[in-house]
């Protein structure tokens, strides 16, 4: 190679956007370009002569030292050369930067064993990947959330109910389902408008979230209908929780637009999730109990009983 060719490649090396390294056989830095200095925070003159392990976190450095020892003993590169690898390097201020490394053998005129390495700064890519994951998680969550009440929606609730039924069948545990429907909700919409009806739905959702247990799942299933999935809860305990919500709602005034405030109530039906219960049938049972509550005067809770269809919560 002529002196001119050497100068061309030196300029290419020095002006590369990516960090470029020339390493001795024992993995000490012989040359580094300006991008390598910018990436690591060291000056080029500070890097030259240092072991590459200067830039490696402890776990990576341990692997690297083992690789170098194996290479010296056996002359084998263990398939590392030519394979892009992602890890983090330590900068001068001891912060971590994600990079992609590709190492390769260099053949020089002096027959010394050397290696070359290219490091690509992945900070922008990693940030983009995190933003994409966050966006995907957000979109997935939005697909499962009712936008008006910010409770879970029917799709999320149905999936959770299927899983809970399977868990009860597998472990013979207890769980309950409560179906809730606002009494005379059509009159609210007809009298005050749908915007007022939306406010009622939002305020009821707020009450339910505050009263149900942390492990319970509360969802708006459509219109004025809500569902509460209650794992590790027998029907009697479920009644206590739902009646507490009913009492809270009964003593509250629901604020509407233009200074209007109204009182509302709801009717609820509860069904026990038993071994081999089918989710659709369970919903039918809880619904039947809820409609029984409406027929008996509303503002009450009924529990599904197989023999009679439903019984008062107080029974």
Token pair recorded at residue 103? 């190492």
CB atoms within 10 A of CB 229: 22
* Alpha carbons 52 and 65: distance in angstroms, whole number: 10
- Name the active-site residue from 46, 131, 224, 274: 224
* Alpha carbons 65 and 60: distance in angstroms, whole number: 9
CB 226 within 8 A of CB 207: no
Residue 31 φ/ψ, nearest 5 degrees = -145, 150
Q: Which of 271, 274, 212, 266 lies closest to 236, judged by CA?
A: 271
48 three-class SS: coil
CB 315 within 8 A of CB 308: no
Q: Is 16 exposed, middle or buried (0-12, 13-18, 19+ CB in 10 A)?
A: middle
Residues 6+ apart with CB under 8 A from 306: none
Q: Which value, in Å, is the radius of gyration of the alpha carbons in the chain?
A: 34
- Has 224 been annotated as catalytic? yes
The residues assigned a catalytic role are 224
């Amino acid at each position: 190679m002529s002196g001119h060719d050497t100068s061309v490649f030196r300029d290419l090396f020095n002006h590369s956007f990516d960090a470029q390294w020339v390493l001795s056989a024992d993995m000490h830095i012989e040359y580094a370009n300006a991008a390598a200095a910018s990436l690591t925070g060291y000056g080029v003159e500070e890097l030259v002569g240092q072991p590459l392990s200067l830039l490696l976190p402890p776990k990576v450095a341990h692997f690297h030292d083992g690789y170098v020892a194996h290479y010296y003993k056996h002359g084998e590169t263990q398939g590392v050369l030519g394979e892009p690898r992602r890890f983090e390097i330590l900068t001068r201020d001891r912060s971590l930067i994600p990079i992609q490394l590709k190492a390769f053998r260099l053949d020089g005129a002096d027959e010394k064993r050397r290696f070359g390495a290219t490091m690509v700064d992945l900070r922008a890519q990693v940030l983009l990947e995190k933003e994409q994951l966050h966006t995907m998680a957000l979109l997935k969550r939005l697909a499962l959330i009712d936008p008006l009440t910010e409770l879970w929606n029917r799709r999320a609730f149905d999936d959770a109910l299927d899983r809970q039924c399977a868990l009860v069948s597998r472990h013979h545990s207890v769980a309950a389902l409560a179906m809730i429907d606002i009494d005379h909700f059509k009159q609210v919409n007809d009298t005050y408008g749908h915007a007022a009806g939306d406010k009622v739905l939002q305020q009821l959702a707020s009450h339910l979230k505050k009263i149900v247990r942390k492990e319970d799942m509360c969802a708006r299933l459509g219109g004025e209908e809500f569902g509460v999935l209650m794992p590790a809860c027998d029907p009697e305990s479920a009644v206590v929780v739902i009646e507490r919500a009913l009492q809270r709602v009964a003593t509250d005034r629901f604020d509407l637009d233009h200074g209007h405030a109204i009182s509302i109530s709801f009717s609820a039906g509860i069904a026990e999730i038993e071994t081999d219960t089918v989710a659709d049938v369970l919903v039918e049972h809880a619904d039947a109990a809820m409609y029984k509550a409406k027929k008996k005067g509303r503002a009450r809770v009924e529990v599904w009983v197989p023999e009679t269809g439903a019984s008062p919560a107080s029974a």
